[in-house]
Every structure is written in C-alpha cells, then in structure tokens.
Amino acid sequence: MHQREPVEYLNCYSRHFSLYNPVFYFRAFIFLFLVAQTWLLYMMSAIIGFGAAVIWTGQGNYLIMNSDKQTIQRNSGVFWAMLQCR
C-alpha cells in the first residue's frame, strides 16, 4: 500500500469519519470468527490493515490539532505511553 493513501482518505472524508468508520471493519472482523471461513478472515485482515492506517492517521491529526509548539512533545509522550499500557 502506498503511504499517502490514509492521508488522502483523511482529506476526502471528515476527521470524525476517519476515526469512527474503521471501527466497523474491526467489528466485522470479530463477527467473522463466528462464520469461521478462512478466506473471509484473510480478506477482512487486509481491510483491517487499511482501517488501522486510517485510524492512526486520524489520531495523529487530532494530536497535532490539539497541540502547539510547547505541548506537542508532552502530548506525544502521553499518547505513546498510553499505547504501551496493556
């Protein structure tokens, strides 16, 4: 996949849409475990890869929108720290 595709997707659709739309891809992937068709799981895994790229791009965009030059490092650190907590 080309690296610019999630950014172009974000430019075409609203930022809110880019954060909420891929959630449906993840829900569909979980639902497909009930069906248990191998080819469907592989196909949905590829679609989730695109959805995850869109979510990451949208999150980065929100991080930048809500930060200025003084707070971008702090906000980025908090963001990455929260991702490491599992």
In this prediction, residue 14 carries a pLDDT of 67
Domain range list for the chain: 5-84
- Torsion sign across C-alpha atoms 8, 10, 14, 20: positive
What is the number of residues in the chain?
86
Phi, psi of 71 (to 5 degrees): -110, -5
What percentage of the chain exceeds 90 in pLDDT?
10
Quick count: other Cβ atoms within 10 Å of Cβ 82?
8
d(CA 40, CA 80): 32
In this prediction, residue 15 carries a pLDDT of 67
Q: Give the confidence band of 64 by pLDDT, cuts at 50, 70, 90.
A: confident
